A = this chain, B = another copy of it.
């Protein structure tokens, strides 16, 4: 049985995603295709343009059989943590056989070579890394330079460590190794626009360019860049007043949180170091909106995305010591956002094969937690989940949803606990 696993955000689902999905299916010829998808907040350190339930609906319509939610604590972090969570979810289904990811180089052998150096931490490499860190480079940049030097300025390698999807791909490989996974990785050459490209390029436009048009109230212009279903669901959610959502909608809550904080309140927050706490607090008082704040806080040392991610960490009070646990133990549950008929069959198989609780009714989270505690005493333990970490992680997902819904223009929609009330999406 071949089960294809994809790691996605679908923010929103566009033609490039469809191309990727179909190409991946050609490579793997899967019996089933599942995806692990970011929830209401995505890896750019921003809220998604529409909520996770609507994005799940589109994904199921486009041919994904089950959509799992990437827990919030992994979704908005840097490549390594994002990969840790998403590979963790796919691996822990205990049925996924292959993953396919887009990559600029599409050279899996080179990616494996690099991943191998990072995993084995060869002395020659770690010395180079230390050297560049001492020179004041940020960790990602120091790693990039160390790898370049390690591979003796091999031009192909050099290109790989420059590109965001290649870097993410390397982290997927690192984490397949971390989880001791038998999943086979494949890559696809990325086509069309670059992920961050804000220029609209017609049929194969980037998600960034598509979101830009939606915010400019030019949704009809994206017609050729997204499947019909995406357009339909986007329009529906917007007409309900549940979107489009962006970071600027969080202006008041972000500035409130920062303006109220003292340095000691946020120094133990994940990724807050080297004076970033002071920059956030001081500039928050003098910024008129989030865009203004980000421009002020950003520096040579802190990239725009890094600043946004750490800002969300402050907003959600995600501590450094919590993150260490999450990185070590991985995701503690498989939250199902939706499935189709085929997916339902596979879900029954997963329920038997996985050592982690499958969550289709999140409102029962506390009963599941109690069950996990009880299970600890069983000699034939059914679950590998650590109950306390399970509880912490899922509560973050709920909080993320409850904060996200606050951003809806429609205040009625914002007064439901969506995770408690919305049923799992069935197609």
Residue positions of A touching B, CB distance < 8 A? 252-253, 255-257, 259-260, 262, 285-289, 292, 316-317, 395, 399, 402-403, 406-407, 411-412, 414-417
Contact of A403 among B256, B395, B399 (CB under 8 A): B256
Q: Is the beta-carbon distance between A415 and B316 smaller than 8 angstroms?
A: no
Q: Is the beta-carbon distance between B399 and A260 smaller than 8 angstroms?
A: yes
Contact of A252 among B288, B292, B317, B406 (CB under 8 A): B406
Cα-based distance from A259 to B316 in the complex (angstroms): 11
Cα-based distance from A259 to B285 in the complex (angstroms): 24
Q: Is the beta-carbon distance between B260 and A316 smaller than 8 angstroms?
A: yes
A397 to chain B, nearest CB (A): 13
Q: Is the beta-carbon distance between A406 and B259 smaller than 8 angstroms?
A: yes
Residues of B within 8 A of A259 (CB): 399, 402-403, 406
Residues of B within 8 A of A256 (CB): 253, 256-257, 403, 406
List the 6 closest A-B pairs by CB distance, nearest first. A288-B415, A288-B411, A253-B256, A259-B402, A252-B252, A285-B417
Residues of B within 8 A of A287 (CB): 415
Q: Is the beta-carbon distance between B288 and A417 smaller than 8 angstroms?
A: no
Q: Is the beta-carbon distance between B417 and A260 smaller than 8 angstroms?
A: no
Residues of B within 8 A of A255 (CB): 406, 414
Contact of A412 among B260, B288, B395 (CB under 8 A): B288
Residue of B whose beta carbon sits closest to that of A402: B259
6 A–B contacts, CB within 8 A, in A order: A252-B252, A252-B253, A253-B256, A255-B406, A259-B399, A259-B403
Residues of B within 8 A of A403 (CB): 256, 259-260
